[in-house]
Amino acid sequence: MFLLHGRRRTVAAIAAGLSLALFSQSGMAQQFSKPPVKVGWLVALTGSNSSPGIGFDRGIKYAAEEINKAGGIKGRKLEVITRDTQGDPTKAVNAALELINKEKVEFTIGPTNSGEGLASTPVIARSKIPSVVFGVVDTLIDPQKYPYAIRVLPSNQEWTEAAHNYALNVLKKKKIGVIGDASGYGTATVNLAETALKGLGATVVYKGLVDANQTDLTVEMKKARAAGAEVMEVWSDSAGLNSRLMNARADIGWDVPLVGHPAMGSGSVKPLLSKPENWNNVFIVGYQSMSFDDAGKLPPRTEKFLGEVSKSVRIDDTTLWWVAAGYDAVQLIKHAIEKGGSSNPDDVKKAWESTKDFPGVFGGYTYTSDSHNGYPVSGLVMNRANSFRNGAYTLAPGYGK
């Protein structure tokens, strides 16, 4: 008798569970009764230049999940369709075409590497797809050539200017070595840096481009030292390459300051160092919004975001600003649809171009018809790479708030 009642209770529980599941699925279908907002996400998740993409990806997925839990965008589910470009410009172009022609995406985000962006941005622009650009090379943003594209990061010129200022005016050094990876981004940035440094009165005593997968960089560092470099500017988003540069510097007993790309401070660099102290004397382009104050506190908005996102997103092997920038990119798409009233490209463009001080986590964004670079230059600072904690950093020595 007891067994019979137990079976009845079990059957009843199963039936109740099925009913609840069906009700839940029905509710979800009812909640998103309109077609989804399809966003194509072009990102290098694998390959030597994948460190930023992994961080951006976490922020994008976190934002999409948060938006969908809250009811979507004007009753539409946000659907992110990801393609791993592997840092390859040809793969980026092919993925962009697939997302546009096969998946019928209404927006794109990325690619994450500028070399890929230089190849794919014109393709996306021809289809009039609103896009959020991560690549920092200056020519990726042009309101006339690419009227539906906006950027969430500073431009490359702004990054390099911050690094030059630190090397020349804070460290007080005039003999500069410049090295980068041989990608489209690295090549463009090394050339940009060389021209700018000469214009500022510095002497570029060494200039080098290396493959991001090159295992031994001892020769390059010895050449730079022999040339008399007092500071080395490093322009690569490859965690592997950056860590090998730091290891090679230590191996030859050279304590020259390394100044430049934010990826030199990524959490993924630390485990690749042969000794923890190899991270010393490394100064990276950073952001006030992602920097600790004298009391060890982040800005309130950043602190709140960190507390929420770290419950489900790994931060220790990336940087917080990569995650925050990915989050903001999705929020800017949501903002444009709600402000413009639809996902129509012209409505989105008009909404973006009338956006002033959008309160992102990474920064406050302002766009106009003449400027699609939305990140405030005033937000740039320099950070000490080895101060990495919870994805954020302290200000570099001698660098005021």
SS (H, E, C) the chain: CHHHHHHHHHHHHHHHHHHHHHHHHHHHHHHCCCCCEEEEEEECCCCCCCHHHHHHHHHHHHHHHHHHHCCCECCECEEEEEEECCCCHHHHHHHHHHHHHCCCCCEEECCCCHHHHHHHHHHHHHCCCCEEECCCCHHHCCCCCCCCEEECCCCHHHHHHHHHHHHHHHCCCCEEEEEEECCHHHHHHHHHHHHHHHHCCCEEEEEEEECCCCCCCHHHHHHHHHCCCCEEEEECCCHHHHHHHHHHHHHCCCCCCEEECHHHHCCCCHHHCCCHHHHCCEEEEEEHHHECCCCCCCCHHHHHHHHHHCCCCCCCCCCHHHHHHHHHHHHHHHHHHHHHCCCCHHHHHHHHHCCCCEECCCCEECCCCCCCECCCHHHEEEEEHHHCECCEECECCCCCC
- 347 φψ region: left (φ > 0), alpha (ψ -120 to 50), beta (else): alpha
Annotated domain spans of the chain = 37-154+301-376, 157-295+382-387
pLDDT digits (tens, 9 = 90+) for 347-385: 999 999 999 999 999 999 999 999 999 999 999 999 999
Residue 398 pLDDT class (50, 70, 90 cuts): confident
Residue 13 predicted with pLDDT over 60? no
Rounded CA separation 131/148 (Å): 6
16-21 average pLDDT score = 46
Of the CA atoms within 13 Å of residue 65, those in its CB half-sphere come to 11
Which residues share a beta bridge with 393? 291
pLDDT recorded at residue 33: 82
Q: Average of pLDDT values for 67-92?
A: 97
**Position 16 pLDDT exceeds 50:** no
pLDDT over 70 percentage in the chain: 92
pLDDT at 223 over 70: yes
How many angstroms separate the CA atoms of 62 and 124, rounded? 25
Is the pLDDT confidence value at 92 over 70?
A: yes
d(CA 331, CA 333): 5
**25: pLDDT strictly greater than 60:** no
165 phi, psi to nearest 5 deg: -60, -40
For residues 325 and 362, is the Cβ–Cβ distance under 8 A? yes
Could you tell me which residues come within 8 angstroms of residue 145 by beta carbon, excluding any fewer than 6 positions away?
122, 125
**For the segment 72-81, what is each residue's pLDDT rounded down to a tens digit?**
999 999 999 9
- The residues, ordered by sequence, that sit 6+ positions from 279 with a Cβ below 8 Å of its Cβ are 246, 269, 270, 273, 385, 386
Residue 327 confidence class, pLDDT cut points 50, 70, 90? very high
> How high is the mean pLDDT of the chain?
92
Q: Per-residue pLDDT tens for 129-156?
A: 999 999 999 999 999 999 999 999 999 9
Q: Is the pLDDT of residue 244 over 60?
A: yes
Q: Which of 235, 244, 279, 241 is nearest to 385 (CA)?
A: 279
Lowest mean pLDDT among 30-34, 168-172, 397-401: 397-401
Asked if residue 30 has pLDDT above 90, the reply is no
Same topology, domains 37-154+301-376 and 157-295+382-387? Answer is yes
Lowest-confidence pick of 15-29, 55-69, 98-112, 162-176: 15-29
- Our measurement of the distance from residue 299's CA atom to the centroid of its chain's CA atoms, rounded to an integer in Å, reads 19
**Distance between CA 67 and CA 272 in Å, rounded?**
36
| Sequence-distant (≥ 6) Cβ neighbours of residue 272 within 8 angstroms | 239, 240, 243, 244
The length of the chain in residues reads 401
Q: Who contacts 239 (Cβ-Cβ below 8 Å, separation ≥6)?
A: 51, 263, 266, 268, 269, 272
- The residue with tokens 């007891």 is 2
CATH 3.40.50.2300 fits 37-154+301-376, yes or no: yes
What does the pLDDT read at residue 400?
Answer: 59
Assigned superfamily of 157-295+382-387: Response regulator (3.40.50.2300)
